[in-house]
């Protein structure tokens, strides 16, 4: 007989796997639990990528929802039922929107339950029926003049049905998504983004029309549609052999990734492409699109700007990632995450006497049955599902309060600096400065002793990121550029960033004692940083030879396993009062 815990776990697994979005909130809308379907449906509405409060997420499409919930006086009941929310997702007014159905229930005086589902196809079906009654036959997306999702799925289903009935012709489904399209909207505005989509639609149609270049007469059977936002799908029918699809996919990648001339702008926007061949095009149209989407996500995960063919293991991998997401949401609620600290040391003339200059906070996850889960296995998933902001806030708050405790108990022997990494989701949140200010006030640590670190590629992205960096700098804390040498900025552009410290990436440091080329790059970085009044830290030092080399090149501080592995909060005081030298 199943135990209560097993029954509860089975119920949670069912709720998280159901295709309907479920969200449990407090009466003020603060989200306690949501399943992956709800996260996927609501995330496009969360402009900062964070799902913390349902009313905040739905503010633009259902501004009255919070007031309705507050005015609902019964102890329980239906606040609203099957309300349709039309999402334009920043597209042009005449674009075909995604439509969600929302029901909001009051469970008791302190909790609400929201049910969210995607009814886009149902709405499109109603629109098609209305058009047919009026004698209209146009099914094109108004913005791009290609099929809408619902009509595309209907035609794809007909193709699948023919294949099951014995049609032996090969076909393939291609799923395309623009890489970093949101940056175009953020940097240049939605009007430019819409123009890019229009040109992309024209190029897509031209490639599909040119399908007969493969040596067959073109009978107009090829389908192209926009699924939503910057996602497109194509069906290639009547292929002579499966490999033909790869030639079309490559042509699509090349054509769609060429620069787009919009006014004075030359906009670059590569695409990632997932494709499903007939052999794996089983079940219904939605299932095939899910497989193509999974392959597209795999293309993005392996660098973007490429095509990946669906394989069954990808579905298993997607299920694993879904399981990790479920467990991570549980981990945040049940305090399974914790922070470890890696010392950052001074590099003095006598390296054997290196002393701690500070510590860097690093998140870890201790799962009750899987044990310690490394960050590599969950950070990217947290970014994809919108949890990275909550993870980052947890690390910042926990580390600041722990740092304050060391200052109280260790006095002058306490670390003098606390370094904490910022994710893109955190850095783009409008309330970030208020959050940091609140944590500094509640923990009591001086702002000057907090160092927030951003990767080089993130700091160089756009003006909005840099504005937020300047706003953080105004709090009197320090900012560090992490992994320098691996991103997009250059020595010549360092002066444009409000940075106090440059952290030289371990890929350079690891060869500092053996490669003249890497030593020259490190020395140039140190010299430019010093000329701008910035400090330098060499990351990933593992040997005495590497430490000696970066010290000779002028690096002030070092970090790596030579000095210490990441330590628990309880181990840090013991490391600080150790008798053996840091290089021992």
List 34's β-bridge partners, or say none.
23
Cβ neighbours around 573 below 10 Å, total: 16
Residue 509 in contact with residue 526, Cβ under 8 Å?
no
List 53's β-bridge partners, or say none.
30
Q: Check residue 31 and give its pLDDT.
A: 87
**Which positions ≥6 away from 556 have C-beta within 8 Å?**
346, 347, 535, 536, 537
Three-state secondary structure readout of 215-277: CCCCCCCCEEEEEECCEEEEEEEEECCCCHHHHHHHHHHHHHCCCEEECCEEECCCEEEEEEE
Q: Check residue 395 and give its pLDDT.
A: 94
Q: What value does the CA radius of gyration of the chain take, rounded to a whole number of Å?
A: 27
Helix axes 244-256, 190-209, angle to 10 degrees: 150
Distance (Å, whole) CA 278 – CA 288: 10
Q: Is 419 left (phi over 0), alpha (psi -120 to 50) or beta?
A: beta
Per-residue buried b or exposed e for 381-403, using 16+ beta carbons within 10 Å of the residue's own CB: bbbbbbbbbbbbbbbbbbbbebb
pLDDT along the chain (584 residues), means of 10: 56 66 88 81 74 85 86 85 73 56 87 86 70 54 68 82 80 88 76 85 77 42 74 81 80 88 84 88 83 89 86 83 84 90 81 69 90 85 82 94 94 92 83 92 95 78 77 93 66 77 90 87 88 92 93 93 93 82 52
Q: Check residue 488 and give its pLDDT.
A: 46
Burial zone of 335 (CB within 10 Å; 0-12 exposed, 13-18 middle, 19+ buried): exposed
Beta strands per DSSP E along 370-498: 371-373, 418-421, 450-455, 478-484
Closest CA to 332 of 307, 376, 365: 365
Q: Check residue 89 and give its pLDDT.
A: 53
DSSP 501-559: EEEE-HHHHTTTTT-HHHHHHHHHHHHHHHHTT-EEEE----SHHHHHHHHHTT--EE-
> How many angstroms from the chain centroid is the CA of residue 240?
39
Distance (Å, whole) CA 426 – CA 444: 21
Q: What token pair was written down for 165?
A: 């009935």
Assign domain 321-573 to its CATH architecture: Alpha-Beta Barrel (3.20)
Distance (Å, whole) CA 449 – CA 438: 15
Q: Check residue 15 and give its pLDDT.
A: 64
Total residue length of the chain = 584
DSSP reduced 3-state for 136: coil
Residue 72 in contact with residue 79, Cβ under 8 Å?
yes
Closest CA to 230 of 385, 98, 140: 98
Would you identify the CATH topology of the domain 137-310? Alpha-Beta Plaits (3.30.70)
Q: Check residue 343 and give its pLDDT.
A: 94
Alpha helices in 134-236 (DSSP H): 149-164, 181-188, 190-209
pTM of the model: 0.61
Distance (Å, whole) CA 501 – CA 530: 10
- How would you classify the pairing of strands 450-455 and 418-421? parallel
Domain range annotation of the chain? 4-118, 137-310, 321-573
Distance (Å, whole) CA 65 – CA 27: 12
Distance (Å, whole) CA 234 – CA 383: 28
Assign domain 4-118 to its CATH architecture: 2-Layer Sandwich (3.30)
Closest CA to 526 of 560, 481, 491: 491
List 208's β-bridge partners, or say none.
none
List 535's β-bridge partners, or say none.
501
Residue 567, CA atoms < 13 Å, CB-side half-sphere: 20
Q: Check residue 2 and give its pLDDT.
A: 57
Residue 314, CA atoms < 13 Å, CB-side half-sphere: 20
Q: Check residue 221 and give its pLDDT.
A: 45
Distance (Å, whole) CA 315 – CA 310: 8
Distance (Å, whole) CA 331 – CA 391: 10
């Amino acid at each position: 007989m199943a135990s209560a815990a097993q029954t509860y776990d089975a119920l949670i697994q069912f709720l998280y796997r159901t295709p309907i979005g479920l969200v449990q909130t407090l009466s003020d809308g603060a989200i306690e639990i949501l399943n992956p379907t709800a996260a996927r449906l609501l995330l496009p509405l969360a402009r900062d990528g964070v799902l913390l409060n349902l009313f905040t997420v739905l503010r633009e499409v259902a501004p009255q929802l919070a007031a309705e919930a507050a005015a609902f006086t019964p102890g329980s009941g239906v606040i609203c039922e099957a309300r349709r929310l039309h999402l334009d997702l920043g597209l042009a007014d005449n674009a075909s929107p995604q439509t969600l159905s929302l029901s909001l229930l009051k469970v008791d005086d302190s909790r609400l339950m929201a049910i969210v589902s995607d009814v886009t196809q149902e709405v499109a079906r109603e629109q098609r029926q209305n058009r047919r009654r009026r004698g209209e036959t146009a099914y094109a997306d108004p913005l791009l003049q290609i099929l809408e999702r619902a009509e595309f799925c209907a035609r794809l289903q007909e193709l699948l049905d023919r294949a099951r009935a014995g049609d032996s012709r090969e076909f393939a489904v291609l799923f395309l998504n623009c890489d970093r399209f949101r940056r175009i909207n953020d940097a240049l505005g939605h009007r430019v983004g819409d123009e890019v989509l229009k040109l992309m639609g024209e190029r897509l149609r031209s490639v599909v029309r040119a399908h007969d270049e493969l040596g067959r007469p073109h009978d107009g059977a090829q389908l192209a549609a926009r699924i939503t936002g910057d996602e497109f799908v194509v069906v290639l029918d009547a292929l002579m052999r499966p490999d033909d699809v790869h030639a079309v996919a490559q042509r699509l990648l090349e054509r769609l990734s060429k620069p787009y001339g919009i006014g004075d702008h030359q906009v670059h926007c590569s695409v990632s492409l997932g494709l499903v061949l007939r052999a794996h095009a089983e079940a219904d149209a939605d299932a095939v699109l899910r497989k193509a989407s999974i392959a597209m996500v795999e293309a993005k995960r392996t660098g973007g700007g490429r095509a990946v063919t669906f394989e069954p293991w990808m579905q298993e991998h997607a299920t694993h990632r879904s399981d990790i997401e479920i467990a991570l949401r549980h981990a945040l609620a049940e305090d399974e995450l914790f922070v470890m600290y890696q010392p950052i040391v001074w590099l003095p003339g006598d390296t054997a006497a290196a002393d701690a200059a500070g510590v860097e906070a690093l998140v870890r996850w201790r799962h009750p049955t899987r044990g310690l889960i490394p960050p590599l296995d969950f950070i990217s998933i947290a970014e994809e599902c919108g949890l990275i902001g909550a993870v980052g806030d947890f690390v910042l708050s926990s580390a600041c309060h722990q740092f304050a405790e060391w200052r109280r108990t260790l006095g002058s022997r306490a670390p003098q600096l606390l370094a904490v990494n910022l994710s893109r989701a955190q850095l783009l949140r409008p309330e970030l400065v208020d959050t940091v200010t609140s944590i500094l006030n509640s923990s009591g640590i001086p702002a000057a002793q907090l160092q927030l670190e951003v990767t080089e590629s993130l700091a160089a992205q756009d003006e909005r990121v840099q504005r937020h960096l300047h706003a953080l700098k105004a709090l009197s804390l320090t900012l560090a550029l992490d992994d320098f040498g691996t991103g997009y900025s250059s020595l010549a552009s360092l002066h444009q960033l409000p940075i106090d410290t440059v952290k030289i990436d371990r890929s350079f440091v690891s060869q500092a004692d053996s490669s003249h080329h890497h030593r020259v790059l490190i020395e140039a970085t140190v010299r430019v940083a010093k000329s701008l009044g910035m400090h330098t830290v060499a990351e990933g030092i593992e040997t005495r030879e590497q430490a000696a080399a970066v010290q000779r090149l002028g690096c002030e501080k070092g970090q790596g396993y030579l000095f210490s592995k990441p330590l628990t909060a309880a181990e840090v005081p013991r490391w600080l009062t150790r008798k053996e030298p840091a290089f021992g």
